[in-house]
Structure 1
Amino acid sequence: MGDVPSSENAVSTDATIAGSATPADLLIQSRNRHFASAAFEQRYWVGGDPYATAFFNALSVTFPKGETFFMKVLRQYRNECPEKLKREISGFVQQEAVHSREHLFFNKQLEQSDFDLSRLEQVLSDVIDDIGTRPLINQLVATTCLEHLTAVMAAEFIANPIHFQKADKEQRKMWLWHASEEVEHKGVAYDTWLHATKDWSRSKRWFTKSLFMIRISLGFAKNRSKGIFDLLRQDGISGPRAWLGFAHYALVSPAPFRRTFWTWGQFFLPGFHPWNKDDRHLIQLAESEYEAAIMDHPEEKEEIATLGERPKRKRLPKVA
């Protein structure tokens, strides 16, 4: 992508002057979707696959508190940033607020279907509370690392149709919408980090972000795996069956971990910036699916002010 500088120092200089290295013609703003009809058609809503369903369910548990934390961190840097980046942080905050709201509703549906999320939520709370005690710059680099992980997964979920090919239609629409906005704002936290560390040496910046990425990634993998196996156990899937089944899903087919490993690792390369890879076409690809679905269901455009006003969903029985 020609507009993104080729070195981290150059990106830092550009971020200081222009506000960010996000494409100038990319407007980051919330679409404020309400997925009021995104009910579960089946307990294993990802095509009847218990492992894929547990993966996305465990991921969803992280979003309300996790994205609230990201918003809190970037808000504290917004006023000191150049105007372009300041506007992008505002767009980021708006998008993440809606994501948090929609996944809160999704998680309520899981609880109504007899999933106990308390252990997953406690682990997440402990991690966020711990990061929240660290200096603000550490909270920012942690946010930057987690946003990279999220953007990498989001791009894979959109680019590879196999992930949601057989998923419940309404859920596929919600997850594609979320993924598209994660791709859209993938450079905001990183540009904020570059601006906040503009007086650092290149080596200090690289060492700090790399160390955090290794620690964050290992913790993310460990805690999400614990959550996945917790959810699987609640449906009677445990032991070697759970481990082998999830390993096949994660690494063989559709292999979200294996397919994203190289993109994740690019974070450590000299001159990395999220927009070194221009994948705006993925935003359009995702929108083509959920926009078409919304045209078929115009009632979804109606504003629903609070979670309590949304229609209650049917309770799905446990699967033995």
Structure 2
Amino acid sequence: MGIAPTIADTASELSAQNKSATPADLHIQPRNLNFARAEIDRRRWVGGDPFASAFFNALSVTFPEGELFFIDSLKKFIKRVPPKLRGEIRAFIQQEAIHSREHHCFNEHLKDCDFDITLLEQDIDRVVQTIRGMSEYDQLVATMCIEHITAILAAEVIGNPAHLENADEDQRNLWLWHASEEIEHKGVAYDTWLHVTKDWNPLKCWFVRSSFMARISLGFAKNRTRGILELLRQDGISGPRAWFGLAHHLLFGKAPFRRTLRPLLAFFKPGFHPWDIDDRPLIKLAESEYEAAIMDDVASAAPPEDLDSIDQLQKVA
């Protein structure tokens, strides 16, 4: 995917390795919000749209285990990075732990709506266990790639109101909050990768991250499509209606896949950094949308420091 880097391009990759492109004034702020009370009142909670609802539901099933994998991946490198980045990793871990907890609750509500998510959970478990069997550097680059995919989807969800138009308010707030934090910490895994591979040949760095992204993006599209189709089947939509309806949703209607293709391909550019696109205004936009509705639910305690299960962050010290 993409053209092999020129000498000038590899020089830019090396330059990117030696300094972080994350905005200096960016503050990663874990927001310990609790959406557990937000039961799903209707199966098609995104404005009655079965395809949009299944899209978000299938994504949610990946988060509890996926977020915990990202935490473990970055924890391996926390003592090898400079103090500023170490603090960002800790904030990343707090955010991801809370995301895992909240989407576990969301997924339990899916089960209350008589969705069987066993097949989807098995798929994400298989993928995560495969990656966990790789080297710590491979786990980090996989985390970096998936974080980029998550961040560009998050930017699309916030930036295009059509995605959550007429969605149930509680669920809309959950997704806007999660999306805003995915944007906020989108450079952490990448900056960790740049630091721990600073002595690598830049062409090797480009090849490793590009080849991983090619594999992961294809696997992501395949597995999410499989999961969405399974949820649609349980919602009474199958066969050609499901396939054509899903293709229209992903590529032509609200088009979350088509609209994120360009920022996905940007990853393959030598010298790329996630903050080449400064979408911090989307964080503020999302906050303005959800904050007023959930202020009464903000936990008074500080964000959790440990997660041994869904509710407890593993210590990072």
Same fold (TM > 0.5)? yes
Cα deviation 1:191-244 (Å, max 9, x = unaligned): 111111111111100111010000001111111111111111112211000000
**Partner in structure 1 of residue 35 of structure 2:** 35
Cα deviation 1:130-172 (Å, max 9, x = unaligned): 1111111111110100000000000000011110121111111
**Partner in structure 1 of residue 151 of structure 2:** 151
Report deviation, 1:11. Answer: 2.2
Report deviation, 1:29. Answer: 2.2
The residue type paired with residue 168 of structure 1 is D
Q: Aligned to 1:79, what secondary structure does the other structure show?
A: helix
Give the alignment of 1:19-98 within 5 angstroms.
20-98=20-98
**Partner in structure 1 of residue 7 of structure 2:** none
Structure 1 counterpart of 2:298, from 298, 301, 318? 301
TM-score normalised to structure 2 length: 0.90
Report deviation, 1:302. Answer: 4.6
**Partner in structure 1 of residue 264 of structure 2:** 264
Q: Give the Cα–Cα distance (whole angstroms) in 1 for the partners of residues 84 and 113 of structure 2.
A: 44
**Partner in structure 2 of residue 241 of structure 1:** 241
Report deviation, 1:293. Answer: 1.2
Deviating more after overlay: 21-30 vs 122-131? 21-30
CA contact (8 A) 2:64 2:310 kept: no
Give the alignment of 1:274-313 within 5 angstroms.
274-295=274-295, 298=296, 300-302=297-299
Q: Give the Cα–Cα distance (whole angstroms) in 2 for the partners of residues 294 and 7 of structure 1.
A: 44
Q: Give the Cα–Cα distance (whole angstroms) in 1 for the partners of residues 108 and 82 of structure 2.
A: 39
Give the alignment of 1:73-222 within 5 angstroms.
73-222=73-222
CA contact (8 A) 1:187 1:275 kept: yes
Structure 2 counterpart of 1:10, from 15, 33, 39? 15
Q: Give the Cα–Cα distance (whole angstroms) in 2 for the partners of residues 259 and 55 of structure 1.
A: 15
Runs of 4+ in 1 over 4 A off after TM superposition: 302-305
Cα deviation 1:10-58 (Å, max 9, x = unaligned): 22111xxxxx432121111211111144222321001101011111100
CA contact (8 A) 1:34 1:303 kept: no
Report deviation, 1:277. Answer: 1.1
Q: Aligned to 2:25, what secondary structure does the other structure show?
A: coil
Q: Give the Cα–Cα distance (whole angstroms) in 2 for the partners of residues 256 and 225 of structure 1.
A: 12
The residue type paired with residue 301 of structure 1 is V
Q: Give the Cα–Cα distance (whole angstroms) in 1 for the partners of residues 29 and 12 of structure 2.
A: 28
Aligned positions, number: 296
Report deviation, 1:303. Answer: 6.2
| Structure 2 CA distance for partners of 1:302 and 1:207, relative to 1, 3 Å | closer
Superposition RMSD on alpha carbons, in Å?
1.9
The residue type paired with residue 269 of structure 1 is K
The residue type paired with residue 205 of structure 2 is R
The residue type paired with residue 110 of structure 1 is L
**Partner in structure 2 of residue 314 of structure 1:** none
The residue type paired with residue 17 of structure 2 is S
**Partner in structure 2 of residue 317 of structure 1:** none
Report deviation, 1:250. Answer: 0.5
Percent identity reads 60
Report deviation, 1:308. Answer: 12
